[in-house]
Structure 1
């Protein structure tokens, strides 16, 4: 006798609800067809990661920048339609963006 049978014996009037299937997580950020570019540079001897090529609204790109900075626990900024993250986090950033549904292209190194 499994657990479902035991529960039916305890609660004969109970009708089990159908559990809804987990829907894909829909992002409130506009997803584009062409890939975003994730590249690595050094400025004043310090490594930075630059994400560019987003064709949606600036507000969505700013939200994405804020989420990346909080998930990676690093500093950064949003300037000239580019997200600048302090440090070399290309792999982690690409994983996060692919998880959100973006196409990402790695440039440099």
Structure 2
């Protein structure tokens, strides 16, 4: 569930029993690309020894994440998937992903070794 979708009853106007629409901020506008804590790491845990590149910390909607992953897969020439709030690419693609995300306007950092 996205953050910011709740409201306490202790607002100055008080609770009047009327239903009000709560304005939810757009995720991509609330946290600009250059302010997101994007982490890129390679891992092998739980993949039967296969190396995958994981990208975490992207505050994107599901459609934006799929579109970004599609461009990444085409650039790297590998497969990949979206799992919950992380992107996975097959193989060791850390340097390629770092360059690609910088060209897209993100400020990625390499996590792990």
TM-score, reference length from structure 2: 0.67
Could you tell me how far 1:35 is from its partner in structure 2? 2.3
Bigger CA radius of gyration: 1
Is the strand fraction higher in 1 or 2?
A: 1
- Give yes or no for the alignment of 1:79 onto 2:83: yes
SS at match of 1:108: coil
CA distance in 1, matches of 2:40, 2:110: 5
CA distance in 2, matches of 1:68, 1:61: 10
Aligned residues: 80
For 1:1-109, what aligned pairs fall within 5 Å after superposition? 30=28, 31-32=32-33, 33-42=35-44, 43-109=47-113
TM-score, reference length from structure 1: 0.69
RMSD between aligned residues: 1.1
- Which structure 2 residue ranges, 5 or more long, are not aligned? 1-27
CA distance in 2, matches of 1:56, 1:99: 17
SS at match of 1:37: strand
Alpha-carbon displacement from aligned partner over 1:30-87 (angstroms, at most 9, x marks no partner) = 4421221111101211100000111121211111011000111101111111111000
- Which structure 1 residue ranges, 5 or more long, are not aligned? 1-29
CA distance in 1, matches of 2:87, 2:59: 13
Deviation beyond 6 Å, 4+ runs, structure 1: none
